[in-house]
């Protein structure tokens, strides 16, 4: 097969890979559950390429992510549920429907107005979906938090849960009370550490993290991005420590903590 820029060719390749007789044994045995981790991993690799500013790598990673979409669509087509074309049609219709200020008459011409309109349209879509499934209007009404995906990274899920609750006023108006809440949760964690109940310690630790996420939301610092930035900084500083020890002919396992801390302080000067 010759490579092509056309999506139809990629769909053909995936169909060939999934062919029970002549396809790839690994691809043939996969299902939605087994492929799910790879789909999540590819999305993270796209994010990583963006953070590194590597557009050449971004091109490749977007291709890998697209392959995941084609893979899922192919498995659905084999079971007679939907095709890749159905996926494209569904998202096309959704984008047109959710952007009446672009594709139809609408007075929403500010980011705030568009957001309100978007939420109203999503609510109407949810009711329509419930009707198609034969549910009553009441049955189709999910709880405020029900459509926040549980498979999201925990930090992202926490943000979305807090944002949803804030819509109905369940929120602080400024950062200071959140700081007080963090201090309260830390005190409770200290108390839990005095006991031997590990489940209680983990529970209180989770409360601390949740409160810190809330603070990030109030000070417009995305927790996921902030932690990724700190992770990158840690990598850079520790690499300096490791390289300095190696250059000095020393062994990382045998040097003292004080020696490593001195090199860590030195690395901070290069941030």
pLDDT tens track for 183-236: 999 999 999 999 889 999 999 999 999 999 999 999 999 998 899 889 989 999
Query: 48 or 177, which is more confident?
Result: 177
In the prediction, which pLDDT does 143 show?
81
Residue 138 in this model has a pLDDT that exceeds 60: no
For domain 7-132, is the CATH number 1.10.10.10?
no
The total of other beta-carbon atoms located within 10 Å of residue 140's CB is 16
- Please report the sign of the dihedral spanned by the C-alpha atoms of residue 154, residue 40, residue 91, residue 147: negative
In the prediction, which pLDDT does 264 show?
94
CA atoms of 234 and 268, how far apart (whole Å): 10
Give the per-residue SS3 of 54-108: CHHHHHHHHHHHHHHHHHHHHHHHHCCCCCHHHHHHHHHHHHHHHCHHHHCCCCC
What are the residue boundaries of the structural domains of the chain, listed by start? 7-132, 154-221, 225-268
Q: How far is CA 6 from the centre of its chain?
A: 28
Q: Same CATH topology for 7-132 and 154-221?
A: yes
CA atoms of 173 and 216, how far apart (whole Å): 13
- Identify whether the C-beta of residue 90 lies closer than 8 Å to the C-beta of residue 96: no
CATH C-level class of 154-221: mainly alpha
CA atoms of 247 and 267, how far apart (whole Å): 15
SS3 110: coil
């Amino acid at each position: 097969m010759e490579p092509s820029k056309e999506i139809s060719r990629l769909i053909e390749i995936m169909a060939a890979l999934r062919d029970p007789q002549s396809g790839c044994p690994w691809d043939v045995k996969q299902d939605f559950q087994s492929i799910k981790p790879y789909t999540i991993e590819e999305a993270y690799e796209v994010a990583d390429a963006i953070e590194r500013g590597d557009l050449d790598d971004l091109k490749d990673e977007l291709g890998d992510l697209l392959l995941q979409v084609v893979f899922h669509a192919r498995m659905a087509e084999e079971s007679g549920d939907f095709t890749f074309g159905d996926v494209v049609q569904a998202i096309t219709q959704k984008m047109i429907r959710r952007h009446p200020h672009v594709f139809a008459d609408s007075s929403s011409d500010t980011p705030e107005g568009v957001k309100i309109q978007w939420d109203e349209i999503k609510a109407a879509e949810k009711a329509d979906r419930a009707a198609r499934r034969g549910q009553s209007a009441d049955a189709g009404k999910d709880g405020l938090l029900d459509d926040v995906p549980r498979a999201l990274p925990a930090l992202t899920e926490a943000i979305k849960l807090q944002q949803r609750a804030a819509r109905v006023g369940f929120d602080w108006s400024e950062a200071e009370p959140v700081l007080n809440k963090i201090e309260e949760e830390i005190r409770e964690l200290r108390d839990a550490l005095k006991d031997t109940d590990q489940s209680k310690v983990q529970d209180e630790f989770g409360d601390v993290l949740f409160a810190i996420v809330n603070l990030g939301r109030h000070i417009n610092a995305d927790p996921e991005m902030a932690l990724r930035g700190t992770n990158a900084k840690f990598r850079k500083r520790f690499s300096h420590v490791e390289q300095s020890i190696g250059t000095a002919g020393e062994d990382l396992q045998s040097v003292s903590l004080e020696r490593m801390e001195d090199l860590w302080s030195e690395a901070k000067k290069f941030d």
